[in-house]
């Protein structure tokens, strides 16, 4: 499987309700340790999902951006449109579509 | 030994499309895609390799442009079924503005550079006297 098989896919809950598209993969370095470098392998921790937004791709949805009040308001809205689906919630991956078990919001 | 990769990472923001460089400082393509392997126990996918080259970038872009990119790469490559350059993730030393590898890379970029140096630049009169 490639990363690009997941990015862009539509995520739906088990009833088929769309939750948004995958905008990014969140990795956590908690796998095996590579002896040559001491780095640990990355594992997929979750899918960053939400409605499409240029600001999300530019990194403005991550929460530590400062700026004038207008920018902060816009970024707060952007953050609300984004959610992380933990990998443990993923039930099925098919081309272009991912089914996840999520709690109702 | 110092760990030089972030503990948490958003792939598109912090890794994808970054320049790869090997131990010699030579450019070795870009991070065009990642190979994910689902372990036998069914746990989260593990990043096992960086994929680089048009055979990785084309399918990621998709559409006509992506198809065209793969078709051109296939036409230029001696092996009609060429796969993207695969760099084992264990070779990744550091993630920063550049992604540094722990070993000399042998990616299509470097093979092209060698071919150009041998067959084109090397045949220009006086090329043999140039400082490299």
B36: which chain A residues are within 8 Å (Cβ-Cβ)? 1-3, 5-6, 44
More confident residue, A95 or B127: A95
The answer on pLDDT for B132 being more than 50 is no
pLDDT score of A53 more than 70:
no
Burial string for B13-41 (b: 16+ CB within 10 Å, else e) reads: bbbbeeebbbeeeeebbbbbbbbbeeeee
Question: Nearest-CA distance from B36 to chain A in Å?
Answer: 5
Inform me whether the pLDDT recorded for A63 exceeds 60.
no
Q: φ and ψ at B67, to 5 degrees? A: -65, -40
Q: Among B7, B12, B44, whose Cβ lies nearest the Cβ of A29?
A: B7
Among A43-47, B2-6, B60-64, the minimum mean pLDDT is found in B2-6
B16-45 per-position pLDDT tens digit:
999 999 887 788 889 999 999 999 988 899
Q: With CA atoms as reference, report the closest residue to B26 among B104, B130, B117.
A: B104
- To the nearest whole number, what is the mean pLDDT of chain A? 84
Nearest CA in chain A to B7: A29
Q: How far apart are CA B115 and CA B109, in angstroms?
A: 10
- The widest CA-to-CA distance across chain B, in whole angstroms, is 61
The neighbour count for residue B131, using CB atoms within 10 Å, is: 3
Longest dimension (CA), chain A: 48
The answer to whether the Cβ–Cβ distance between B8 and A48 falls below 8 Å is no
* Residue closest to B29 by CA, chosen among B102, B105, B83: B105
Phi, psi of B94 (to 5 degrees): -155, 145
Residues A5-29 pLDDT 10s? 999 999 999 999 999 999 999 999 9
Q: Are B79 and B111 contacting, i.e. CB atoms less than 8 angstroms apart? A: no
Q: What is the dihedral of CA B111, B115, B117, B118, to 10 degrees?
A: 130
B82 interface with A at CB cutoff 8 Å: no
Would you state the torsion angle of the CA atoms of residues B108, B50, B96, A66, taken in this order, to the nearest 10 degrees? 120
Buried b / exposed e along B58-82 (16+ C-beta atoms within 10 A): bbbbeeeebeebbeebeeebeeeeb
pLDDT band at B73; cut points 50, 70, 90: confident
Residues composing chain A: 105
Taking CB atoms and an 8 Å cutoff, what residues of chain B touch A1?
A: 35-38, 45
Q: Chain B residues with CB inside 8 Å of A34's CB?
A: 89-90
Q: What is the ipTM of this complex?
A: 0.79
Question: A22: nearest CA in chain B?
Answer: B12
Q: Which residues of A touch B (CB under 8 A)?
A: 1-7, 23-29, 31, 34, 36-45, 48, 57, 59, 62, 87-88
Going from the C-alpha of B41 to that of each of B37, B46, B86, the distances in angstroms are 11, 12, 24
Give the three-state DSSP class for B104.
coil
Cβ contacts from A onto B, under 8 A: 105
Do residues B49 and B83 make contact, with C-beta atoms less than 8 angstroms apart? no
Global pTM value: 0.78
Q: Closest to A28 (Cβ–Cβ): which among B8, B13, B34?
A: B8
Look at residue B113 and tell me whether its pLDDT is greater than 80. no
């Amino acid at each position: 499987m490639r990363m690009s098989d997941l990015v862009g896919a539509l995520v739906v809950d088990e009833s088929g309700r769309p939750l948004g598209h995958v905008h990014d993969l969140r990795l956590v370095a908690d796998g095996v340790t590579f002896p040559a470098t001491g780095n640990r392998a990355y594992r997929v921790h979750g899918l960053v999902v939400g409605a499409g937004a240029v600001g999300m791709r530019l990194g403005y949805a991550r929460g530590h951006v400062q700026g004038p009040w207008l920018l902060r308001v816009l970024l707060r809205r952007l953050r609300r449109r984004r959610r992380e689906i933990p990998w443990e919630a993923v039930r099925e991956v098919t081309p272009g579509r991912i089914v996840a078990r999520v709690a109702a919001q | 030994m110092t760990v030089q990769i972030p503990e948490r990472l958003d792939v598109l923001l912090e890794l994808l499309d970054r320049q790869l460089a090997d131990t010699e400082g030579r450019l070795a393509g870009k991070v065009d895609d990642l190979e994910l392997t689902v372990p036998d126990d069914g746990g989260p996918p593990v990043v096992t390799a960086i994929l680089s080259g048009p055979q990785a970038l084309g399918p990621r872009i998709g559409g006509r442009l992506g198809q065209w990119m793969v078709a051109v790469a296939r036409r230029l490559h001696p092996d009609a079924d060429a796969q993207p350059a695969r760099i084992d993730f264990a070779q990744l030393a550091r993630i920063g503005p550049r992604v540094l590898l722990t070993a000399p890379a042998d990616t299509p970029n470097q093979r092209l550079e060698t071919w150009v140096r041998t067959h084109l630049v090397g045949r220009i009169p006086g090329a043999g006297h140039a400082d490299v």
